[in-house]
Amino acid sequence: MHGTLVTPPSDLAGTKAAAVTVYLHGFNVAGWMWNFKAIDGYDYAAAMARRGHVSLVLDRLGYLPSGQPDGMQTCFGAEADILHQIVQLLRSGSYALQGGAPRPFRTVVTAGQDVGGLVAEVEAYSYKDIDGLALLGWADQGFTPDVFRWMGEVISLCASGGQPAQQGGPGGYVRFIQSDQEIRNKAFPYADPAVVDAIFRGLIRKNPCGDFQSVSTAVDTDIARLHEINVPVLNLYPDHDLVITPQGYMMQGLNFAPNTDVTTIAIQGGHFPMLEILPSKVFKADVSGWLDKKGFS
């Protein structure tokens, strides 16, 4: 597994145990969405470092430069198990760090956008080893009508064996939403066209079929088990998402036990608010504020 550890400049040589937030991406992208460098001003992880936060940006299984198995041979349960192992490595300081010495982290928060949030949820109630959970654009209900159409397309493609992850790559992969124009029109309502153009110049990824084939079961299990999560939860969502309705997002907090510390924040934004002009500023401020308030910094 590959990840990028982004720390505050004053923290580079430090050895004191501190807090780290592990960021997981969703479909069609990779870790680059959290430290986007193609256009100035959208490197979320660097901005969080300037606010004093340590971030680990992961490329999930199936997304280069992390490993790429046959896309039929993985599922969200496997990804949650991998995340659990990463959490334990961060706590023990026994991970490999290029160009530096690894150190242990006392506090580990997981944060996910899109199905990255799903992975973080499954890990949280399965292993109960994190200190906080941030859902940054994920809910387990309220899917838009388009989602069911898009899922029908990918399930059909996966039933036929899927496609290579990239030229020369393993099989069993497929892109979510087959139309470039639909992604452009619906995923980035507040984005600079230059950012969207940069994303379409080689950054869109295909996804393991095993994820699509296991997502329904994972969502059903979430709804049955989210009440087991007893750490602070941030439910931050955009108001113009192409995947989940505002009503679905507003209901997400009800899936947790009544005494769970859930903070729900709605912001103006599309599916990728960290890559949009004004939403990105609010998004960074709200996540940073929650991390600070809960002592995760």
Q: Model confidence over 23-38: pLDDT tens digits?
A: 999 999 999 999 999 9
Q: Which amino acid is at 230?
A: N
Q: Which amino acid is at 227?
A: H
Pick the CATH number of 2-293 from 3.30.450.30, 3.40.50.1820, 3.90.870.10, 3.40.1360.10: 3.40.50.1820
pLDDT confidence of residue 11: 64
The reply to whether omega before 65 is within 30° of 0 (cis) is yes
Is 12 a residue whose pLDDT tops 60?
Answer: no
What is the C-alpha to C-alpha distance for residues 101 and 93, in angstroms, rounded to an integer?
9
pLDDT confidence of residue 9: 83
Strands 107-112 and 55-59 turn out to be: unpaired
Contact indicator for 235, 244 with CB cutoff of 8 Å: no
Q: Where are the beta strands (DSSP E) in the chain?
A: 2-6, 19-24, 55-59, 107-112, 132-136, 173-174, 207-208, 233-238, 262-267
State the pLDDT confidence band at 13, using cuts at 50, 70 and 90: very low
pLDDT in tens, 70-118: 999 999 999 999 999 999 999 999 999 998 889 999 999 999 999 999 9
**Residues present in the chain in total:** 297
pLDDT in tens, 194-226: 999 999 999 999 999 999 999 999 999 999 999
pLDDT in tens, 49-64: 999 999 999 999 999 9
* Contacts with 25 (C-beta within 8 Å, 6 or more apart), sequence order: 31, 33, 34, 58, 59, 60, 63, 112, 113, 114, 116
Which residues are paired to 24 by β-bridges? 112
- Is 143 strand, coil or helix? strand
- Is 149 strand, coil or helix? helix
pLDDT confidence of residue 82: 98
Contact indicator for 58, 115 with CB cutoff of 8 Å: no
pLDDT in tens, 227-281: 999 999 999 999 999 999 999 999 999 999 999 999 999 999 999 999 999 999 9
Structure tokens at 38: 């193609």
pTM: 0.97
pLDDT confidence of residue 16: 52
Is 3 a residue whose pLDDT tops 70?
Answer: yes
Structure tokens at 269: 């934004």
Q: Rounded to 5 degrees, what angle do the CA atoms 195, 200, 206 make? A: 130
